[in-house]
Amino acid sequence: MASTCDGSTEAAELLKVCWLEVRGKLKTTELSPGIRYEVVFVVKLQAKAYGWDVPVNLKLTVPHASENRWSKVNLTDKAREKWIEIPVGDFIASPKKPGDVEFSLYEYDGRWKSGLVIKGVVVRPKY
């Protein structure tokens, strides 16, 4: 575990992996109805990070949506040693369509990679 900037939160650092998958879910009933929310991963690349020349995949699944939302982000052009936010997507919490919002960050092309620190996921109102 790596310590984040405030010293009170722990973060996971990938030391050497060839398969990365971070997933989470949240019940929409825990959110305010009618509000647009955004989901972002908070991460940092260490100075010594390697293997990120292949983009990471992001996926957002919203209850009763007609399709999942996918995107890709290239981490090689992101600042090192600095916390950054990687947007996954946004959605409107609907009381008429309750269920789980699911989000993930993954990359499994088999290449070894290291040095990604994951502080967490933020789900917040989008203004």
pLDDT tens readout for residues 29-79: 999 999 999 999 999 999 999 999 999 999 999 987 777 899 999 999 899
Do residues 90 and 36 lie in contact, with contact meaning Cβ atoms separated by under 8 Å?
yes
Tell me the C-alpha distance between 110 and 113, whole Å: 9
pLDDT score for 2: 43
Strand, helix or coil for residue 52: coil
Token pair for residue 48? 């010594």
Token pair for residue 30? 């825990």
Do residues 26 and 61 lie in contact, with contact meaning Cβ atoms separated by under 8 Å?
no
pLDDT score for 1: 41
Look at residue 9 and tell me whether its pLDDT is greater than 80.
no
Q: CA of 93: how far to CAs of 26, 43, 66, 67, in Å?
A: 11, 25, 15, 16
Q: CA of 124: how far to CAs of 36, 89, 91, 92, in Å?
A: 8, 11, 10, 11
Strand, helix or coil for residue 55: coil
Q: Give 98's contacts (C-beta < 8 A, 6+ positions apart).
A: 27, 28, 29, 63
Domains of the chain: 2-125 (2.60.120)
Percent of the chain scored above 90 by pLDDT?
Answer: 76
Would you place residue 4 in the very low, low, confident or very high pLDDT band (cuts 50, 70, 90)?
very low
Q: CA of 88: how far to CAs of 8, 15, 96, 112, in Å?
A: 25, 24, 23, 23
Token pair for residue 45? 């690349």
